[in-house]
Amino acid sequence: MKQLKTCLLLLAFSYGLMLYLALLQTAPGQQLQFHADAPIWLTLQAVLSLWLSRKLDAVLWAKRAAASLLQRYSQSFGLSLLIFVSLMTGLQLLIDTVTSQPLVLQQYLRVSLMYLLVHSLIAGADLLWQALKRQQQQQLELMQAQQHNQQLKLRLLQQQLDPHFLFNNLNVLSVLIHKNPDQAEQFLDHFADIYRYQLQQGNKTLVSLAEELTFAQQYMALLAQRFPSSFQLQINIEPQQQTNYQLVPCCLQLLLENAVKHNSASADQPLWIQLELQHNQLIVRHLLRPKAFAQPGTGTGLTNLSERCLALLGKPIAVIQNDEFIVKVPLQHSV
């Protein structure tokens, strides 16, 4: 069906072109010299030109790495043009020789130019259209591949959160079981609530700031059982503002956990962790009190969080370290 449609379009083009040429050659007052069979022969030549260019294009690039689309178009068009013009001019020369027609060089130059025009209009336009379609297809495939890679990378980053959170708290639970079974039971209840949030929200791309702050308060209640009155959370964000923003899930768990892991604190000298909003960013800050014998961090958690923010919000986190440890987490306005 597609081939029939192409042939009909070529036939209509041939009739239009031959009629136009006949009008150009007819002087005012003279009878129009239009041969009804001429468009049919031109259609056959156009079909041959189209078939030759497509076949040659497929053969040239079937078993070799594709160059740029411009190079591919130029080489396919140039070679098919040379073959088509040579073939049709040679065929015309053979017919004239068999029929004992006079061989005039100027006539064959005109014939060659006519076939060059036919091939340029038919095959040239077709190859250009095919090249544009290939370019659009390549751009679409590239965009789909980038989206797929981004989604895969994001899933891998999200999957890294669960083991990190799980193993750290299971170690704490193991210690509490031996030291204080009752406290271990309470710890396990809080841990189950928090881990449930991890499972429910961890697979989401974004969560509301209000949900994340509620989670942070629950997590601080968990820390209070391990370090009574040692770590305090101060939220300087109005309740109405908390519903206006979204952020990547479970980021506060990571930042709170880092604060506990790397800083010393006690009931007499608690470490205050402050949360506030600045310029569409969540600011998490606390004094820097490095533990005397703390194990050096690998930075994997912050790198993970930064990559998730970059993938989902187009901006990584910012970390500032002087007398304070400050992390700026990008936010997105809720829809």
pLDDT tens for 121-140 read: 777 777 777 777 777 877 77
pLDDT confidence tier of residue 84, bands split at 50, 70 and 90: confident
DSSP annotation of 317 reads -
Q: Using an 8 Å Cβ cutoff, are 268 and 313 in contact?
A: no
pLDDT tens track for 301-319: 788 888 888 888 889 999 9
Q: How confident is the model at residue 171 (pLDDT cuts 50, 70, 90)?
A: confident
Nearest CA among 3, 111, 101 for reference residue 51: 3
| Residue 330 dihedral angles phi and psi, to the nearest 5° | -65, 145
239 confidence band (pLDDT: 50, 70, 90):
confident
List of E strands, 62-149: none
Query: Given the structure tokens 């009931």, which residue do they identify?
Result: 267
Threshold 0.75, pTM exceeds? no
Distances 38 to 11, 49, 223, 315, 331 between C-alpha atoms, Å: 11, 16, 92, 66, 71
Average pLDDT over residues 31-51: 68
Residue-level length of the chain? 335
Cβ burial 266-290 (10 Å sphere, 16+ → b, else e): eeeeebebbbebeeebbbbbbeeee
Both structure tokens of 261? 């892991």
**Mean predicted lDDT score pLDDT of the chain:** 77
Distance of CA 94 to the CA centre of its chain: 57
Question: Which among 205, 243, 206, 235 is positioned nearest to 219, based on CA atoms?
Answer: 235
Q: What is the pLDDT of residue 65?
A: 47
Amino acid at 85: V
Domains for the chain: give ranges and CATH numbers.
2-21+35-148 (no CATH), 160-333 (3.30.565)
**For residue 148, what pLDDT is reported?**
56
**Are the C-beta atoms of residues 76 and 56 closer than 8 Å to each other?**
yes
Extract the tokens encoding 82. 């040379």
Whether residue 101 is predicted with pLDDT greater than 50 in this model: the reply is yes
pLDDT at 231 over 90: yes
Categorize the per-residue pLDDT at 99 as very low, low, confident or very high, splitting at 50, 70 and 90: confident
* pLDDT of amino acid 221: 83
Q: 325, 236 in Cβ contact below 8 A? A: no
Spatial separation of the C-alpha atoms in residues 75 and 204, rounded to whole Å: 50
Q: The tokens 């001019």 sit on which residue? A: 89
Q: How far apart are CA 303 and CA 309, in angstroms?
A: 10
pLDDT at 162 > cutoff 60? no
